[in-house]
């Protein structure tokens, strides 16, 4: 594939990152390789529409994200959702990104399978493919429902050839199987609440930040 074309693509990976962990970092780095982009943008959700406000503020979650990606050349943080009032809808984020990059450039919005399962409850979810492709990464312990609007939508929009998607700005859904690390932010918060250590679940700088700010105690 012509690398000059690939370099024009933009890739996003959104999450609450409460806190960021090695599962996020591994999957994001592998997605950057798969999509052949120089960098993948990690976008912390400021005001998650589908859950209560996280214990760590959006600024703290962004700070941990920046500490975590410090030495990772393929990852960058984009605080775009921190600049908007609540709630942080993905459709608003991809609309804004599309305005910034123009009509032609492929825009890949990457999410894990557990997020995909909730997609039909997202604000204007069926419009997302007007602005971006959706790349789905498998996640341990998550399965798709057997039938329903989500399955119909996947059948209608699924594409198995990434090189075709690289030539189009938006409109397709692509499934990929990447490293499956069985780590979650919930698990990290639970461990911290019980006073257990989280040393091998997230980078040391994040562990230190959590300790300094007495998060998740
Ligand atoms: P929580 O436990 O609080 O729900 P989380 O660990 O699922 O958090 P999020 O910030 O909600 O993390 O996830 C952001 C994105 O990263 C989602 O699309 C999610 O599917 C994906 N993701 C999180 N952890 C992993 C993992 N271990 N492997 C693959 N994808 C992951």
Percentage of residues of the chain with pLDDT beyond 70: 96
Look at strands 75-77 and 40-44 and give their pairing.
parallel
Predicted pLDDT at 136 = 94
Residue-wise pLDDT tens digits, 114-128: 889 999 999 999 999
Q: Which residue's CA is the closest to the ligand 1 atom numbered 17?
A: 112
Distance of CA 4 from the midpoint of ligand 1 (Å):
31
Predicted pLDDT at 143 = 82
Instruction: Categorize the per-residue pLDDT at 85 as very low, low, confident or very high, splitting at 50, 70 and 90.
Output: confident
Q: Indicate the average pLDDT of the chain.
A: 91
Whether 4 has a pLDDT exceeding 60, the answer reads no
43 lines ligand 1 (CB under 6 A): no
Calculate the CA 130 to chain-centre distance. Answer: 18
Percentage of residues of the chain with pLDDT beyond 90: 76
Half-sphere exposure of residue 91: CA atoms within 13 angstroms, side-chain side? 14
Whether 111 has a pLDDT exceeding 80, the answer reads yes
Structure tokens at 33: 């390789």
Structure tokens at 16: 């609450």
**What is the set of domains in the chain, with CATH numbers?**
10-182 (3.40.50.620)
Q: Which atom of ligand 1 is nearest to the CA of 16?
A: 10
Whether the CB-CB separation of 37 and 6 falls below 8 Å is answered with yes
185 lines ligand 1 (CB under 6 A): yes
Distance of CA 188 from the midpoint of ligand 1 (Å):
12
Residue-wise pLDDT tens digits, 128-153: 999 999 999 987 777 888 899 999 99
Q: Which atom of ligand 1 is nearest to the CA of 54?
A: 3
90 lines ligand 1 (CB under 6 A): no
114 lines ligand 1 (CB under 6 A): yes
Instruction: Count other C-beta atoms under 10 Å from residue 17's C-beta.
Output: 24
Structure tokens at 115: 């997020």
Q: Which residue's CA is the closest to the ligand 1 atom numbered 23?
A: 24
Q: What is the mean pLDDT of residues 19-39?
A: 95
What CA–CA distance (Å, rounded) separates 210 from 206?
Answer: 6
Instruction: Categorize the per-residue pLDDT at 1 as very low, low, confident or very high, splitting at 50, 70 and 90.
Output: very low
202 lines ligand 1 (CB under 6 A): no
């Amino acid at each position: 594939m012509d690398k000059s074309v690939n370099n024009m693509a933009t890739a996003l990976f959104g999450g609450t990152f409460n806190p960021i962990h090695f599962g996020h970092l591994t999957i994001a780095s592998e997605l950057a390789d798969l999509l052949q982009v120089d960098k993948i943008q990690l976008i912390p959700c400021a005001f998650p529409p589908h859950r209560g406000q996280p214990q760590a503020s959006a600024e703290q979650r962004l700070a941990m994200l920046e500490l975590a990606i410090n030495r990772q050349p393929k990852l960058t943080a984009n605080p775009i959702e921190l600049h908007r009032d609540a709630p942080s809808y993905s459709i608003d984020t991809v609309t804004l990104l599309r305005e910034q990059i123009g009509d032609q450039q492929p825009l890949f919005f990457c999410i894990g399978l557990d997020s995909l399962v909730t997609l039909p409850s997202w604000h204007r979810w069926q419009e997302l493919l007007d602005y971006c492709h959706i790349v789905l990464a498998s996640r341990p312990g998550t399965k798709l429902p057997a039938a329903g609007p989500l399955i119909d939508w996947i059948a209608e929009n699924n594409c198995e050839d990434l090189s075709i998607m690289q030539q189009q700005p938006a409109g397709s859904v692509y499934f990929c199987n990447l490293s499956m690390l069985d780590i979650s932010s919930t698990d990290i918060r639970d461990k911290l609440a019980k006073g257990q250590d989280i040393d091998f679940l997230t980078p040391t700088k994040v562990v230190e930040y959590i300790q300094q700010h007495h998060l998740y105690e």
